[in-house]
Amino acid sequence: MAQSQALAYQSDASWFSPFVELRQALPSQIEAISPFLDQLTRFINRFRNGDGSEDIEISVREAITNAIVHGNCEDADKRVYVTCRCDTDGDVSITIRDEGQGFDSRTVPDPTTPENRLSPHGRGIHLMHALMDEVCFEEGGTVVKMFKKSNAGLQELRKSG
């Protein structure tokens, strides 16, 4: 379970659009992921009306799992830090930081090549890139930043068309 249950909600009108932010520190335990994702998904759905939330949930699950298993090596003394920012237009930015040594994301083998298709590892980063609009690794691979644009404009076009 997450040790820190404190949520930080911030509003800031200095951006193009006001936003609300959730911050959480998770222990490096796999069993902490699902309860946190339930909470995060409810938070995000307040701003997105469910559009693309499954993609975000899968991507965040993969990123947190990688941070716990590969970054922090499931070390009970280390934490994974998650910040999720939702703006009133439905755009979502997520930052996940671990306390590990980092890695070079460019050296991760492509799981879609024939020699890697049967590998039990290596699909998480590929999924994040496929499901999110933007994904980047920073600070030597200890930080992943993901962005998902709102589909609200597209939904309005479909309704009127």
CATH code where residue 65 lies: 3.30.565.10
In a domain, 2, yes or no: no
pLDDT value at 11 more than 50: no
Average pLDDT for the chain: 85
Q: Which of these ranges, 2-6, 32-36, 99-103, 105-109, has the smallest mean pLDDT? A: 2-6
In a domain, 64, yes or no: yes
When divided into structural domains, the chain yields a total of 1
Average pLDDT over residues 115-132: 88
**103: left (phi > 0), else alpha (psi -120 to 50), else beta?**
beta
**Which tens digits make up the pLDDT trace of 128-141?**
999 999 999 999 99
In a domain, 5, yes or no: no
Q: What was the pLDDT predicted at 101?
A: 95
Predicted TM-score of the model (pTM): 0.83
Per the CB < 8 A criterion, the answer to whether 12 and 18 are in contact is: yes
Q: Domain of 56? A: 19-160
Taking the alpha carbons of 37, 68, 99, 138 in that order, is the dihedral positive or negative? Answer: negative
